């Protein structure tokens, strides 16, 4: 998956057609999964002529890629916005983790994929692809941390937060519910935050 | 030494996967490789090939983490234990030929299985870490009021994530590993 810092980096097509196609793709995947969703299903859902959609996307592969890029950008923007709304570092981190976890939980297309087609998601977020995912997600959310940390530390912290959210999303047993305010605040306060502040916060010894 | 049939079957399935891949391995292959009868294999693994593959993945993950535990058990303190463990595990993953092969050729078949098995590995890692944390606590080196169980689970989860995908971290660079362990992983745990 790709995380452009802004949506402007996504391939630019007519916004209305693209918006409709992305929404329709997500709706179809939420209903039938990715494997069974056809280009025709998406055209019908979007209320577009198949030929029109084809001219823009040229096929299901490109449609899925653009949907992924757009969704990744939207998620990253949502997480940044949650952080930007807070005034302390701790509140920003708590808000960002909760927002990310809630976005994932409420994402019907993604939930369908996790439940019934994990083989289509996991190759993009584990092992070598996981490295690219974490680095990309980290730098996409880092701007929301740059008020509190030097640029290099913000990237590093963004990646750690992405890792914390990803590992909870992937693990089937969840002793900690990151969509819950109190649990997430405790986790962030006790374990996550002290690791993000840099060596000056660590007593030497 | 008598090897249990169950163990022999898992070992044989692993050998078949190494040779043919997960998709092409059949129960017949496992019968031939293990010398255990088809009927006994189905008695031990009623789910047939799917169950064999799932349990073989779990079995090799257990062996992997047992080797890891053995490599680091005598580390002088908790931070060194994690540093040595991350470096060892990273190399072992890079050099694990069967893992590299299935990741390369059959990720869609393999990855859902390790995700299913992941919770047992998390329990194993946190149970392994807990006594080391208790030792740090007795030595007065952990943050006052620390919930040791919660700390072990946090570290286990993030260590497992780092072993699979180190992200920005170069696990061959001891300085980076040291910084990662003493800041991100243990910043909230040690004093």
Model confidence pLDDT, tens digit, residues B118-169: 888 999 999 999 999 999 999 999 999 999 999 999 999 999 999 999 999 9
- Predicted TM-score of the model (pTM): 0.92
Angle in degrees, 0-180, between the axes of helices A60-84 and A15-32, rounded to the nearest 10: 100
Q: Is B147 among the domain residues?
A: yes
Cα–Cα dist B173/A44, whole Å = 53
Over residues B82-107, mean pLDDT: 96
B107: nearest CB among A123, A134, A160: A123
Chain-chain contact of B108 with A156 (C-beta, under 8 angstroms): no
pLDDT at A203 over 60: no
Mean pLDDT of chain B: 96
- The residue ranges of every structural domain in chain A are 10-196
Are B53 and B13 in contact by the 8 Å Cβ rule? The answer is: yes
What CATH number does the domain containing B163 carry?
1.10.357.10
Q: Is B117 among the domain residues?
A: yes
Residues of B in contact with A199 (CB under 8 A): 179, 182-183
Are B180 and B81 in contact by the 8 Å Cβ rule? The answer is: no
Q: Is B21 among the domain residues?
A: no
A171: nearest CB among B119, B147, B162: B119
Q: Is B29 among the domain residues?
A: no
Angle in degrees, 0-180, between the axes of helices A50-57 and A60-84, rounded to the nearest 10: 70
CA distance B12 to chain A (A): 25
CB pairs under 8 A between A and B: 104
pLDDT at B79 over 80: yes
Q: Is B148 among the domain residues?
A: yes
Domain that holds residue B140: 58-185
Q: What are phi and psi of B190, to 5 degrees?
A: -90, 155
Task: Locate the chain A residue with the closest alpha carbon to B183.
Answer: A195
Structural domains in chain B (count): 1
pLDDT in tens, A98-154: 999 999 999 999 999 999 999 999 999 999 999 999 999 999 999 999 999 998 899
Domain topology for A10-196 = Tetracycline Repressor; domain 2 (1.10.357)
On whether any CB of chain B is under 8 Å from the CB of A175, the answer is: yes
């Amino acid at each position: 998956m790709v995380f452009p810092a802004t949506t402007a980096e996504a391939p630019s097509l007519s916004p209305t057609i693209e918006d409709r196609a992305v929404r329709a793709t997500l709706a179809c995947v939420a209903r039938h999964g990715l494997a069974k969703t056809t280009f025709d299903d998406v055209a019908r859902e979007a209320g577009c002529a198949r030929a029109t959609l084809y001219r823009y996307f040229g096929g299901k592969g490109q449609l899925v890629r653009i949907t992924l890029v757009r969704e990744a950008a939207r998620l990253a923007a949502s997480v940044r916005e949650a952080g930007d709304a807070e005034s302390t570092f701790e509140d920003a981190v708590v808000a960002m983790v909760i927002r990310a976890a809630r976005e994932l939980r409420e994402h019907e297309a993604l939930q369908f994929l996790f439940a019934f087609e994990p083989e289509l998601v996991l190759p993009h977020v584990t092992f070598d692809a996981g490295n690219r995912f974490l680095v990309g997600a980290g730098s996409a959310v880092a701007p929301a941390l740059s008020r509190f940390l030097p640029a290099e530390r913000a990237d590093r912290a963004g990646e750690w937060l992405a890792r914390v959210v990803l590992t909870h999303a992937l693990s089937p047993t969840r002793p900690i519910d990151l969509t819950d305010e109190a649990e997430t605040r405790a986790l962030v306060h006790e374990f996550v935050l002290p690791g993000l502040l840099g060596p000056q916060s660590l007593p030497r010894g | 030494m008598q090897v249990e049939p169950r163990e022999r079957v898992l070992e044989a399935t692993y050998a078949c996967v190494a040779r043919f891949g997960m998709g092409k391995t059949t129960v017949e292959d496992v019968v031939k490789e293990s010398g255990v009868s088809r009927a006994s294999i189905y008695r031990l693994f009623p789910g047939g090939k799917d169950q064999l593959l799932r349990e073989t993945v779990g079995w090799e993950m257990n062996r992997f983490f047992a080797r890891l535990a053995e490599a680091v058990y005598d580390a002088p303190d908790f931070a060194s234990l994690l540093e040595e463990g991350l470096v060892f595990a990273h190399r072992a993953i890079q050099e694990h030929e069967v893992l590299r092969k299935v990741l390369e050729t059959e990720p869609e078949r393999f990855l859902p299985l390790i995700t299913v098995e992941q919770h047992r590995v998390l329990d194993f890692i946190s149970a392994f870490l807990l006594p080391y944390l208790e030792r740090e606590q007795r030595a007065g080196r952990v943050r006052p009021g620390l919930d040791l169980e919660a700390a072990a689970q946090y570290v286990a989860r993030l260590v497992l994530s780092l072993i699979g995908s180190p992200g920005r971290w170069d696990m061959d660079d001891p300085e980076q590993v040291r910084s990662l362990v003493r800041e991100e992983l243990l910043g909230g745990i040690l004093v």
